[in-house]
Amino acid sequence: MSLRAVITGLGIISPLGVTKDKFWEALVRGKSGVRPISRFDASGFKTRIAAEVLDFDPEAYMDKKEARRMDRCTQFAVAAARLALEDAGLAPGQADPDRVGVVLGCGIGGIETFEEQVGILKTRGPDRVSPFFVPMMISNMAAGYIAIIHKFYGPNSTVVTACASSNHAIGEALRLIQRDEADVVLSGGSEAAIVPSAIAGFCSMKAMSTRNEEPERACRPFDATRDGFVIGEGAVILVLEKLEHALARGARIYAEVAGYGQSCDAYHITAPDPDGSGAAKAMARALKDAGLKPEEVSYINAHGTSTPLNDKVETMAIKKVFGEFAHRIPVSSTKSMTGHLLGAAGGIEAAASVLSIVHGVVPPTINYEHPDPECDLDYVPNKARTVRVDVALSNGLGFGGHNATLVFKRYVK
């Protein structure tokens, strides 16, 4: 029998607030983190809204000089890791550093640095490009920095599978513990892509909402009037720990990471397989891995992007796996409040799923006002719901056809 992995710490840097408590309180209230873009002048863009992290000061978590050598994406991850370790009560010396790993998800990486330095190259020439350009830009640097700062010598990697990145990362962290390759793994994801080039690219794809005059109402997963996703930013780090290790140090346990399943649509570079079979396979495989039946699931945190195709196809996929029971499971998209954190989406949604187990509350899908006949499940519209959550399932579906599903369950000795 494989070893069990539990979650003992949560570190959250989000558009709904910094820290776990601020994030959860806003989520349960149904508060939107979407606002007009403030990080640059977006007046010439078709989409001028995003879910930005507003109350983040990197110097609260790291040295000023150190922060200047990190992209915003890495700053978020380093800060979230500090919060997660504090939340887990995991002080230096409480774990063998050779058996502490870091596995993060990141879809794009240091795109702000990339954009800035390419601008310098074009206007001021190659000699003015920063020597830190490459290490600030590359997607794996967040995981590397966390290990360098805390002297973690265990397995260390970064998963890049677009919007499924963090789901895959947490799943791979689970496997490291199950294979007894680590006692503790920091996992989750980070993203900071609210920059002109990324916004322009998504606008050209016609993938984002243009409901600019009412930003808080723009992200409306499963609603018939949905018109695209809203980009977000932030980082979430979960401390996964081998059960025996957590018990030996008297750690508080939030929940157990019970299962992980993945698949590929092998269909299109951006569009999901229209019959939902890829997402359905990931969910079915995750449940099988967890040794659970579909009717044992209490809550589904959907990928729920607020795009016409995703929401319809994900609904179909849930029906394929859960059959008639699909209509009795609360399904919500917390992206309606956080926006879409791209490669970090799976991390923030894992945190929401775990906290739903802890608090017995399912967060809502806000802005759900116009039922779509092709999206006919219980999306927990507009208000959080008190529900005993014993098993939560969280989906991540990414460009390239990447699908990854995680299963969390209430910890039982």
Amino acid at 402: H
Residue 247, helix vs strand vs coil: helix
- Strand 156-159 and strand 391-398: the pairing is unpaired
- Kindly give, in sequence order, each residue whose CB lies less than 8 Å from that of residue 131, ignoring residues fewer than 6 positions away: none
Tell me the C-alpha distance between 328 and 400, whole Å: 31
The number of CA neighbours under 13 Å toward the Cβ of 71 is 35
What region does 330 belong to: left with phi over 0, alpha with psi -120 to 50, or beta? beta
From 160, 24, 172, select the one nearest 105 (Cα to Cα). 160
How far apart, in Å, are the Cα atoms of 70 and each of 88, 175, 231, 234, 372?
25, 29, 21, 14, 43
DSSP 79-127: HHHHHHHHHHT--TTSS-GGGEEEEEE-SS-SHHHHHHHHHHHHHH-GG
Give me 297's structure tokens. Answer: 């699931």
Are the beta carbons of 146 and 186 closer than 8 angstroms? Answer: yes
DSSP 344: G
Chain center to CA of 150: 23
Please name which of 252, 258, 331, 345 lies closest in space to residue 298, comparing C-alpha atoms: 331
Q: Distance between CA 386 and CA 379 in Å, rounded?
A: 14
Name the amino acid, one letter, at 286.
Answer: A
The torsion of the CA quartet 293, 297, 301, 302, rounded to 10 degrees, works out to 50
Distance CA 334, CA 350 (A): 11
* 6 close to 243: Cβ distance less than 8 angstroms: yes
Supply the residues annotated as catalytic: 163, 303, 340
Cα(402)–Cα(86) distance, rounded to whole angstroms?
A: 33
